[in-house]
Structure 1
């Protein structure tokens, strides 16, 4: 069997690319379906869901490289002619489907890869080359957009595959020609193709179909996103939760973020709704500068692609425990200040100290600090006892700007 194509048959390398691409795509599609529909009510189910998604993404990345190699190889190859090119409508449809397949084979895994790089957390690609892409920032908007495009292009790919398979079966069962057989491995028969004219119509038809898919998707509202209480970089610009505790400082803006290590990658998240009631005086009385009470709306957490899982019962259980509260005395320390008190989270109260720095200019104060929690203290992710899946330590980082109350 020749390695390269001829005018009447496909070469062995073209056949190898064809069937390898088909294998990868037909593996990635069901893996994605299974992963998307897998439950995640506890840690074991989350780990299984992540494993399925990791396989899906890894196969997808392999598919895009294989598809690109196949396309580059085909650019320098003779394209065997159709065996029924005299049926103009059918021939145009066949070439259109081929254009849809080639484009979708690249667009589907590419949009999935960009979505993976734009978001944080959950199901890494199983390879040693990192999880990011050049020029792709961490962006919830970009992640949501590419996730939608991934779905739309996947549906286009699935429809193209069905049309391609249906056409091959028609040639086998109805036309009884060698169209399917000449793509099979080890087949050396070379039926004479009919003469056909080159036409841009199939490519234009494929572009029109992709455009129609985007128009229909937009009309159906798949690109619409709910209003977010955060800026483009994912940080809240003002705390939205309220507290009735006394305060002589008013928080103007700030961020409350967490960082966890999950499935080999650091995952950063933020709470969009929180408030701090601060009583503070530069002059300490009995070593105490004041008090702070911070309340956090648990359901306002955004934790990349694991947000929904993080709010489930085995983790933060936001449906039952909607608010976390940190209440502390503000003390002087060697490195600045220390908020020394206790955190109530998921119905459990644990002592907690938060060291922070503070700068006051006129009537404006700027602070930043961080501390480390152990999720096990609060019964979070009890079914994930292995740190290789979810680390025990959770870093909490807070920064804010406050003005002195008149």
Structure 2
């Protein structure tokens, strides 16, 4: 069986590409929806959901690479002539559907791959080449945009696939011609010499349209439902005003580090530098829990089994600022998800006149706050959650 196409038949390589991709699509689409809908109420369900998503992503990468090979081969090889060249509208429609299908086979897996690379989270791709992509930053905004493109482009894929299958059925059942046999067995058919125009420009325009629509609609899809419940935190009266800062967390999920941060929090700080050990001030921090972003697992993290952001929209940390032998500590109580636990946060402090730079770090045990009780295996989700704070503050009325 010849490898290359002829004017009247598909070669073995084109047919291998076609049927491998077809098999991959038939598995990938339902696998993605099953993974999306799978519950994650306990460790076993979470492990299954992770495996389903990993399988979906790995298969998507394989289909993407196959699609690139199929498109290249379609460009450099002759396309077998249409069996009904007199039906120009039908031929043009078939060409457009083919190239729309090719475009979707690139956009769908590539957008999902970029989303995966742009964020932290569970479900790694099963291969030895890492989880990142060149030139793709770790960016929740980019991940959200690509999630939207992925969501929209999947319907382009489904639509093109339905039309493609419908056309094949029509040729087999109504026209009773050799179109399907030509792809299934490599059977030659048709009269060479007829004109056969392509529809690549139409497909490229369609692909660009999907990308533009996806980018423009990013704010409308895959938004976190919990974010609408985010409390509006009032500015805190403070002797020191935070000019810039980050409040972030870090944990290990399925063997991979996942980092996130709270976008909205306030701090009321009273502090007077002193050389002698003892109390140097107080701090009262209020945190908007729904403002958390935690990679691709943000929605799950804010759900009832974890932070329960709808029921417990704020957390607070009230502490004394203590001058200790090797630096400073914030010694107080963290109120989170209805639980109160003592917490000590060691921190370093650099003073330059009325400007202070502070970096602190401590480790919490999520089990003390009833977070992720359904995940009792630390191999799936670490018990330890590292809290990091980095801020610059100026004394009120200072320069």
- TM-score between the two structures when normalised by the length of structure 1: 0.88
Any idea what the Cα deviations from partners look like across 1:215-244, whole Å, max 9, x if unmatched? Answer: 7768xx733359x9xxxxxxxxxx973476
- Mapped partners of 2:211, 2:132: distance in 1: 26
Report what 1:362 is aligned to.
353
Report what 2:109 is aligned to.
109
Match of 2:197 among 181, 196, 199: 199
Work out whether residues 243 and 295 of structure 1, in 8 Å CA contact, stay in contact via their aligned partners in 2: no
Match of 2:219 among 218, 224, 243: 224
Report what 1:174 is aligned to.
174
Question: Which ranges of structure 1 fall in alignment gaps of 5 or more residues?
Answer: 229-238
Q: Secondary structure at the match of 1:305?
A: coil
Any idea what the Cα deviations from partners look like across 1:51-70, whole Å, max 9, x if unmatched? Answer: 32222111101111111122
Does residue 262 in structure 1 map to residue 253 in structure 2? yes
- Mapped partners of 1:287, 1:136: distance in 2: 48
Work out whether residues 277 and 322 of structure 2, in 8 Å CA contact, stay in contact via their aligned partners in 1: no
Work out whether residues 85 and 195 of structure 1, in 8 Å CA contact, stay in contact via their aligned partners in 2: no
Q: Secondary structure at the match of 1:304?
A: coil
Report what 2:226 is aligned to.
none
Any idea what the Cα deviations from partners look like across 1:264-302, whole Å, max 9, x if unmatched? Answer: 221111111211121211126761212222121111111
| Deviation for aligned residue 1:44 | 4.7
Report what 2:228 is aligned to.
none
| Deviation for aligned residue 1:21 | 0.8
Note the 1:128-277 alignment, pairs <5 A: 128-184=128-184, 187=185, 189-200=187-198, 202-210=199-207, 213=210, 222-224=217-219, 241-242=233-234, 247-277=238-268
Note the 1:375-386 alignment, pairs <5 A: 375-386=366-377
Work out whether residues 287 and 314 of structure 2, in 8 Å CA contact, stay in contact via their aligned partners in 1: yes
Report what 1:389 is aligned to.
380
Does residue 347 in structure 1 map to residue 344 in structure 2? no
Task: List structure 1 segments (4+ residues) > 6 angstroms apart after TM superposition.
Answer: 215-218
> 1:141/1:286 Cα in 2 relative to 1: closer, same or farther (>3 Å)?
closer
Any idea what the Cα deviations from partners look like across 1:118-171, whole Å, max 9, x if unmatched? Answer: 122132212222111100112222222211111222111111111111111111
- Mapped partners of 1:42, 1:269: distance in 2: 23
Report what 1:312 is aligned to.
303
Work out whether residues 252 and 402 of structure 1, in 8 Å CA contact, stay in contact via their aligned partners in 2: yes
| Number of matched pairs | 389
Q: Secondary structure at the match of 1:276?
A: strand
Any idea what the Cα deviations from partners look like across 1:334-368, whole Å, max 9, x if unmatched? Answer: 44211122212111222211111111111111101
> 1:362/1:188 Cα in 2 relative to 1: closer, same or farther (>3 Å)?
closer
Work out whether residues 43 and 377 of structure 2, in 8 Å CA contact, stay in contact via their aligned partners in 1: no
> 1:157/1:240 Cα in 2 relative to 1: closer, same or farther (>3 Å)?
same
Please tell me the root mean square deviation across aligned C-alpha atoms, in Å: 2.5
> 1:42/1:302 Cα in 2 relative to 1: closer, same or farther (>3 Å)?
farther
| Deviation for aligned residue 1:370 | 0.9
Any idea what the Cα deviations from partners look like across 1:59-83, whole Å, max 9, x if unmatched? Answer: 1011111111222333433322221
- TM-score between the two structures when normalised by the length of structure 2: 0.90
Question: Which ranges of structure 2 fall in alignment gaps of 5 or more residues?
Answer: 224-230
- Mapped partners of 1:61, 1:100: distance in 2: 19
Work out whether residues 42 and 314 of structure 1, in 8 Å CA contact, stay in contact via their aligned partners in 2: no
- Mapped partners of 2:168, 2:193: distance in 1: 20
